[in-house]
Amino acid sequence: MFEARLGQATILKKILDAIKDLLNEATFDCSDSGIQLQAMDNSHVSLVSLTLRSDGFDKFRCDRNLSMGMNLGSMAKILKCANNEDNVTMKAQDNADTVTIMFESANQEKVSDYEMKLMNLDQEHLGIPETDFSCVVRMPAMEFARICRDLAQFSESVVICCTKEGVKFSASGDVGTANIKLAQTGSVDKEEEAVIIEMQEPVTLTFACRYLNAFTKATPLSTQVQLSMCADVPLVVEYAIKDLGHIRYYLAPKIEDNET
C-alpha cells in the first residue's frame, strides 16, 4: 500500500509543470524514504532527478517499494482539476496497475478522485557520481529564467563563464552578441535575491539554451537556483522544494566538434 498526502495541490502542479516539458513519461519510485524520479529526456541530453522526502508530506506510507510509471501529460491533466489549495493524496495498492489521485477542498466539502493507469516503462537509471564542482553559483531563480529566455533569442547555445569576478552568460548569433554578467552580491537584505559564487577554479562551458529554458519551468518551485559546474561534466541546475526535497537537472555540455 502506498499513500502520500500533500497539503497543497499547487506544489504537485508546479512539480509536474517543471518536468513535463522534458519528459513525456517517467517512473516515480516510491519507498519509505520518499518519492524519487530519475529520467532522461528523449534526446538523452539532459537528466531530471526529483526527490520528495517522505517527511515533507503530510502523510506518507509506503509498505513496499513501488515503481509507478506514469504519463506525465495525463497526470498534469488530472492535476489541473485540482484547486491550488486542495489537499492531494496519491494512493496505490501493491502491484496495482492504477494510481488514485484524490483532491479534497480545504473545507472538506468537495472530494474528487481520479484513477490513472500506470505504465511499465523501461527504466534506465543512471549512476550519478558525486562531483566536486569547480564552481557553484546560487542566484535568484527568476533572474536565471530571465537570462535564459533573453539569451535564447540570440543563439541556440549559451556560454556560462564563471570566474572569481562573477558569472557571465553569453550568446552569439546572427543577430549579434549578448553578454550578461552577474557579480557576487555583497550584502543583500533578502536572501532570495543574493548571487553567491563558490569557485575553486574558473570554468567556461557551453550549453543548449533550449534545455536551460526547459529547466526554468521549475522557477515557481524555488526562489533560488543553484548552478554547479565543472569542466567536462554536466551542469547541475538545482531547485530546492521547500520542506519537501529538490529537483535537479543535469545537462551535458556542448563540446568542441573535432570532426569539422
Partner 1 sequence: MSLKKALDDCLIDFDRRVLVTDLLEEYKLPYKEVHELLEAYVGSQEPATKFDKRFLVRGKRKYEEGGTNAGDELYSVVRESQLPDWLAKLQDAESQLYSVEVAGGSKSPAMIFKPMQHLEVKLANVEQRAGNPAPASAPTTNGVHKTNGVAPQTSKKPVVKSEPAKTSPIKAEKPAASKDKSPPDVKNTSPKGQSSKAKPGSTGAAKKGSINSFFTAAAAGSKQGDVKATPSKASTSSMDNFLKKQPPGAKKSPPKESKKATPAAVKKEKTPVKKQSPANTSVQLFEEESGDSSDEEEKLDKIRRKVIGSDNESDKEKPSSNSKRRRIVDSEDEDEEQPPKKTAEEPAVIDVEEMDTEPANETYMDEEGFVITQRKPTKAAPPPAKKKISPKATAPANKKKSPPSTGKGGGDGTKTKQAGIMSFFSKK
Site for partner 1 (CB under 8 A): which residue of 34, 56, 220, 245?
Answer: 220
**What would the DSSP string read from start to end of 48-91?**
EEEEEEGGGSSEEEESS-EEEEEEHHHHHHHHHTS-TT-EEEEE
Could you give the 3-state DSSP secondary structure of residue 246? Answer: strand
Residue 132 interacts with partner 1 (CB under 8 A): yes or no = no
Nearer to partner 1, 17 or 25 (CB): 17
Contacts of residue 78, Cβ cutoff 8 Å, sequence gap at least 6? 101, 114, 116
Residue 10 interacts with partner 1 (CB under 8 A): yes or no = yes
Residue 191 interacts with partner 1 (CB under 8 A): yes or no = no
- Chain positions 63 to 122 lying near partner 1, rule: CB under 8 A, are 77, 80-81, 83-84, 105, 110
Could you give the 3-state DSSP secondary structure of residue 24? Answer: coil
Side chain identity, residue 130: E
Site for partner 1 (CB under 8 A): which residue of 15, 19, 35, 47?
Answer: 47
Side chain identity, residue 236: V
Side chain identity, residue 150: D
CB of 29 to partner 1, least distance (A): 12
Site for partner 1 (CB under 8 A): which residue of 4, 14, 18, 245?
Answer: 14
Locus of grid cell 535564459: 148
Locus of grid cell 555540455: 253
CA dist 65 and 186 (Å) reads: 46
Site for partner 1 (CB under 8 A): which residue of 36, 157, 222, 226?
Answer: 157
Residue 128 interacts with partner 1 (CB under 8 A): yes or no = yes
CB of 206 to partner 1, least distance (A): 5
Q: Which residues bind partner 1 (CB under 8 A)?
A: 10, 13-14, 17, 40, 43-47, 77, 80-81, 83-84, 105, 110, 124-129, 157, 172-174, 206, 208, 220, 233-234, 250-257, 260
